[in-house]
Structure 1
Amino acid sequence: MYETTTLQGKIKLFIKILIPILITQVGIYLISFFDTVMSGRAGATDLAGVAIGSSLWVPVLTAINGVLLAITPIIAHLTGAKENKLVPKKVQQAIYLSIVLGFLVILLGGMALEPVLNLMALEPEVQHIAKYYLITLGAGIIPLFIFNTLRNFMDALGQTRVSMFIILLSLPVNILFNYLFIFGKFGIPALGGIGAGIATAITYWIICLVSILIIAFMQPFRGYQLFSNWLLPNGRAWREQLKIGMPIGIAMFFETSIFSAVTILMSVYSTNTIAAHQAAMNFASLLYMIPLSVGMALTIPIGYEVGAKRYQEAKKYAYIGISGSIFIAIFNGVILFVFREPVASLYNSDPTVIELTASFIVFAVFYQLADAFGAPIQGALRGYKDVNMTLVISLVSYWLIGLPSGFLLANYTSLEAYGYWVGIIIGLSCGAIALLWRLFHLQRKY
């Protein structure tokens, strides 16, 4: 990171930070995308099972990643204030915390998985695939959390291209192992959707090991000597990260878990409807990586400028990011609407599933427009270390407005399953408006 003095310089630096983050986020999501698409080629049952498993895993992953994401503004503030000597201690403690969180997710997930799946009126085969997809994927949870911590450290230094390289390296590896385990090659039995979980866990281990090697031996990371002079776990350092990270993680959980709640509520519909809904949601979530990446990128320069007490410069970065995100969302919406049927056919060859998926994608056009406002603003607020109000806004807009309105529209109007999507759009729109108000309030305060 470095200081900029002109608008052109800010746009150039922001793009330099954003593009690798966007490619990285898309790459991370493509792991789940390829799991779903390649499982769909094994059959509609495998598609539904992996999609259900993914819908349960993603909110948990997002929530924990929110906690781990707190290290980005912490490091950005330190580097902005020229206190680089404190960085290794913060990152070491964040690694300890990521390991503890990984064990907790495995423990609690093991206890909750069966009861949660039993709540859903799934066909036995779909439930079996969803259960063992998650169990096998669980073997890679701890290395994934360690990688995300190290990645957030690298990004906070403005070195976003490095994490991009790691993820791009992992994609062909994930596709290869999916091919081997889903379809059964070279003597490996065909495991269908369950094989996707094994492939993903192996991929998580590989990206963790690669990131450790890069930080240990490459500049500028080697200069920080993260893996030398290890300190014992420190509760005070954990509390500092959790104070910022917990509200971020819970807010992200509220946002993503609403989709899991919708999936549970939609389990009363046919397998084809569930498969189509999940396929459309999977692709819409891929598009969400754009505003999410803008938000993550905004956290870095805004945190850096706030750490240096250059508040007007931080304000300019916020407007650059938000306006860019909205423009991209409008462009994406047009493309998605025009090509909705070819996109739907990526997931399944059944004409009924394709038709249903294309119908859901029309609603996804509007939902990603609302996301284009909300996600970048959340990233800007994280740069100020302002996270508690975001938590409140997420709870109200998604769970007290979005989900109830979706339930009413689905059960008491002719929209049926589509009603849940309309409810999500309403919730996201209300959240975006409230977040924009919060950002204006914060900028006036500073």
Structure 2
Amino acid sequence: MTSDPILEPPHRGEGWRGEIIATLALAWPLALANLAQMLVHAIDVIFVARLGDEPLAASSLAIALFGLLLWSLSGMSGMVAALIAAELGRKRHAVREVRRSVRMGLWLAVGLGILAMGICLTGEGLMLLTGQDPAIAALAGDFLAVVMWAMVPMLLSNVLRNFVSALGRPIFATAITVVAIGVSALFNYAFVFGNLGAPALGLEGSALASVLTSLFILLAYVVVIQSDRRLRRYRVFGNWWRPEWRRLKELLRIGTPVSLTILAEGGMFSAAAFLMGRIGPSELAGHTIALQIAALAFQVPFGVAQAATIRVGYFYGARDPAAIARAGWTAMVLGGGFMLLTAAALLFAPRTIIRIYVDPDAPRNAAMVAFAVQYMVVAAAFQLFDGVQAVAAGVLRGLQDTRVPMIMALFGYWLPGFGSAVVLGFLTPLAGTGVWIGLAVGLVVVAGLLLQRWTRRAALGLLPA
């Protein structure tokens, strides 16, 4: 059964060349949007870094918790993209089915956001439980008490971003996030140092800037969806009070393992920040800068992975195993290839990249920069594996295979990964560098496990009948 041509995703792709073009057409706006989102967060770091090491360390710990919650919960509600892609592939009543999926995704975002806000309120106590300095823990708690109000609008925006991307409008996500960079800079400029007639709120001013920026992004998505003829047709904001319990249950079924998978990976990196906090403030500050840079590079394969979920999901709904294979392997090569380039940049020009965040020649930054450079060498070594595990997870999500990948992630990140980080960081002279080697071990193990599952997808019964 065919549907209105307006429902057909653009760039369906014919053969390998067509698939490459189709994947790139979808991936580059998503990757650019991811990079822009990182720059939005980088703006916060740039302003807070000028307040000193303690505010930077406190914001690092607070964002480690807030970002972990946001990232993992976005994975759960963001599985709406896989459901939308499969419905478009099946071409059965797509308008109605897509609307139901988006509506329940928005419901889920609100519920999850309120839960996450409750966790943020316990932030200072969680910091103290991990052995952080009481002064830094108090600063982090105050930061979380403000920034938590950004959680619900950010999760709602994530659902709408997945909707516009799956419907072939990823450029909207790019444009909105690029504009948000300027909005974030303006609010940080105003509220951190007290410019433009605003009060000088310091660290809490940066948190307030994040809240206001998140509200701007949400409003921008609503405006573009209502303004675009293709997107407006789905009426995703209509009958918002009407439940679709079966669809909500489906989102929870495939989304919960994704959330736990992201929690496993993000938790490993966030826990590493707490380990660094126990090693020393300069090590933690250097870790923050190095992790920001590694995360910036990760946004490109992450964008490819998001595109792969949609591409594979579409062909999963269309029951086309050959096209599923082409979409998956194309994404693997594109994501892994890019990470080889970023590895070279981290290895051969670390101080140049660090200059994005702080002045590496300033004497007060000497210790922080020295540690950051050490950690970036290790980050260069695991770039390829980071790209492979991200894309492999994305293609498996397109097959709506999430439970076993979750188990693989929990095992790989926390036993060989975090276990190595603790041992090498505290029982050897490697200290912070040992923690980063442990992070690399976790990524290598998970990448290998996920790649093996993808290659055995037919034997494991993951393909549509």
- Length-normalised TM-score, structure 1: 0.96
Aligned equivalents of 2:120 and 2:51: distance in 1? 27
Q: Which runs of 4+ in 1 moved over 4 A?
A: none
Superposed CA deviations along residues 341-368 of structure 1, whole A, max 9, x for unmatched, are 1223443441221112111111111232
Q: Alignment length, in residue pairs? A: 445
Q: Report the 3-state secondary structure (helix = DSSP H, G, I; strand = E; otherwise coil) of the residue aligned with 2:313.
A: helix
- Contact map agreement 2:189 2:195 (CA 8 A) in 1: yes
In structure 2, the partner of 1:49 is: 58
Q: CA deviation at 1:403?
A: 0.7
Superposed CA deviations along residues 388-407 of structure 1, whole A, max 9, x for unmatched, are 11100110000111011111
Partner amino acid, structure 2, of 1:298: A
Q: How does 1:187-336 map to 2 (within 5 A)?
A: 187-336=197-346
Identity %: 27
Find the partner of 1:181 among 165, 172, 191.
Answer: 191
Q: How does 1:24-423 map to 2 (within 5 A)?
A: 24-83=33-92, 84=94, 85-110=96-121, 112-348=122-358, 349=362, 350-423=365-438
* Residue segments in structure 1 that go unaligned for 5+ positions in a row: none
- Contact map agreement 2:279 2:431 (CA 8 A) in 1: no
Aligned equivalents of 1:276 and 1:230: distance in 2? 45
Aligned equivalents of 2:411 and 2:247: distance in 1? 30
In structure 2, the partner of 1:434 is: 449
Q: CA deviation at 1:39?
A: 0.8
Partner amino acid, structure 1, of 2:253: K
Superposed CA deviations along residues 120-155 of structure 1, whole A, max 9, x for unmatched, are 443444323322222211112111111111111111
* Residue segments in structure 2 that go unaligned for 5+ positions in a row: 1-8
Q: Report the 3-state secondary structure (helix = DSSP H, G, I; strand = E; otherwise coil) of the residue aligned with 1:229.
A: coil
Q: Report the 3-state secondary structure (helix = DSSP H, G, I; strand = E; otherwise coil) of the residue aligned with 1:185.
A: coil
Q: Report the 3-state secondary structure (helix = DSSP H, G, I; strand = E; otherwise coil) of the residue aligned with 2:50.
A: helix
After TM superposition, the structure 1 stretch with the greater mean CA deviation from structure 2, 409-418 or 1-10, is 1-10
Aligned equivalents of 1:25 and 1:346: distance in 2? 17
After TM superposition, the structure 1 stretch with the greater mean CA deviation from structure 2, 253-262 or 28-37, is 28-37
| Counterparts in 2 of 1:233 and 1:359: CA distance versus 1, 3 Å | same
Aligned equivalents of 1:360 and 1:271: distance in 2? 15
Q: CA deviation at 1:271?
A: 1.3
Partner amino acid, structure 1, of 2:435: Y
Q: Report the 3-state secondary structure (helix = DSSP H, G, I; strand = E; otherwise coil) of the residue aligned with 2:198.
A: coil
In structure 1, the partner of 2:4 is: none
Partner amino acid, structure 1, of 2:110: I
Q: CA deviation at 1:302?
A: 0.7
- Contact map agreement 2:309 2:397 (CA 8 A) in 1: yes
- Contact map agreement 2:120 2:144 (CA 8 A) in 1: no
Aligned equivalents of 1:351 and 1:249: distance in 2? 38
Answering whether residue 20 of structure 2 is matched by residue 11 of structure 1, we say: yes
Q: CA deviation at 1:69?
A: 1.4
- Length-normalised TM-score, structure 2: 0.92
Q: CA deviation at 1:231?
A: 4.7
